[in-house]
Amino acid sequence: MKILLIGHGKMGKAIEEYAIQRGHSLVATVDVNDTLMPTLAEQADVAIEFTHPEAAFENIKFCLEHNLPVLSGTTGWLDKLSEIEKICQENDGTFLYASNFSIGVNLFFKLNKFLAKLMSPHDLYKPSMVEVHHTHKKDAPSGTAITLAEGVIEEHIGYSSWKNDSNVKDNEVPITSERIGEIPGTHKITYKSEVDQISIEHEAYSRDGFVQGAVLVAEWLPAQKGVVKIDDFLKL
């Protein structure tokens, strides 16, 4: 498979290495000072986009307007997600966004929803979330934390929004973001009552899970149409 790799930072470099290991080739790596040229899109089977919250929208739009299936793992740009989904439909394209490409985290998303549903009738237990990442991370809260909070909101009658603060209203899920050293990504949800607490946690040991998931999804993506989800790939 021929991959157009957009973003050549921590994720881009690791994806390049793993994609080559799996027998793929790169049409090009496009980083911040490079230009996305239509000829690059013509030569590629799929684009993988891991860049910056400010850059993701234009990069994805370019791919969709040049008939190139594209997956994006960039977080922090979700205010424009519905616009991209519209552009995908208008161009009869293929697009997938996932806040986290690790299989473990996508199973954790399901566990989170299950726990929220169980907790919904028990308002003595108050949820809160902590996400911990490396100090280079540009966005807070993490995209994964937002997906987890959305899962709670979907399943728990007592919650309708989230806030990146520990000081919240009754109907808000509090998310605390910590930035420490080189931590790849840890997410913990706790339901606390006056007498006890229940926590679930996912801890990534490295970026390998995100990288492997992104390349496996990229292999599957060109045969799909429209706005697709990682749940479709994982059959969750």
Ligand X SMILES: NC(=O)C1=CN([C@@H]2O[C@H](COP(=O)(O)OP(=O)(O)OC[C@H]3O[C@@H](n4cnc5c(N)ncnc54)[C@H](OP(=O)(O)O)[C@@H]3O)[C@@H](O)[C@H]2O)C=CC1
Going by the annotation, the residues of the binding site for (S)-2,3,4,5-tetrahydrodipicolinate are 134, 143-144
The option from ligand X, ligand LZUJQKHR, none interacting with 94 (CB < 5 to 8 A, set by class) reads: none
Q: Counting contacts by CB under 6 A, is residue 141 touching ligand X? A: no
Between 186 and 215, how does the x/- string for binding to ligand X read (CB under 6 A)?
A: ------------------------x-----
H/E stretch holding 200:
strand 197-203
**Which residue of the chain is nearest ligand X when measured via CB?**
9
Question: CB-based contacts of 28: which residues, under 8 Å, 6+ apart?
Answer: 4, 5, 34, 40
Least distance from C-beta 157 to ligand LZUJQKHR, angstroms? 26
Q: Which residues within the stretch 100-159 sit at the binding site for ligand LZUJQKHR (CB under 6 A)? A: 100, 133, 137, 142-144
- What b-and-e string marks burial along 76-103, b requiring 16 or more CB atoms within 10 Å of the CB? bbbeebeebeebbeeeebbbbbbbbbbb
Q: Counting contacts by CB under 6 A, is residue 51 touching ligand X? A: yes
Q: Which residues within the stretch 160-179 sit at the binding site for ligand LZUJQKHR (CB under 6 A)? A: none
- Beta-sheet pairing, 161-163 with 197-203: unpaired
Residue 133 bears catalytic tag: yes
What residue numbers does the annotated binding site cover? 31, 73-75, 98-101, 134, 143-144
Residue 8 bears catalytic tag: no
What phi and psi, each to the nearest 5 degrees, are found at residue 37?
A: -100, 140
Please tell me the distance from the alpha carbon of residue 56 to that of residue 97, in angstroms, as a whole number.
11
The option from ligand X, ligand LZUJQKHR, none interacting with 74 (CB < 5 to 8 A, set by class) reads: ligand X
Q: Specify the residue, 20 or 157, whose C-beta has the smaller distance to ligand X.
A: 20
Q: Please tell me the total number of residues recorded for the chain in this structure.
A: 236
Tokens 């959305």 locate to 150
Least distance from C-beta 76 to ligand X, angstroms? 6
Please tell me the distance from the alpha carbon of residue 39 to that of residue 17, in angstroms, as a whole number.
23
DSSP letters, 132-188, are EE-TT--SSS-HHHHHHHHHHHHH-TT--EEESSSS--TTEEEEEEEE-TT---EEE
Candidates 5, 74, 132, 158: give the one binding ligand X (CB under 6 A): 74
Q: Specify the residue, 15 or 40, whose C-beta has the smaller distance to ligand LZUJQKHR.
A: 15
H/E stretch holding 5:
strand 2-6
Q: Given the rule CB under 6 A, which residues bind ligand X?
A: 6-12, 30-32, 50-52, 55, 59, 73-76, 98-101, 139, 143, 210
Q: Which residues participate in catalysis according to the annotation?
A: 133, 137
Q: Enumerate binding residues for ligand LZUJQKHR (CB under 6 A).
A: 75, 99-100, 133, 137, 142-144, 185, 210
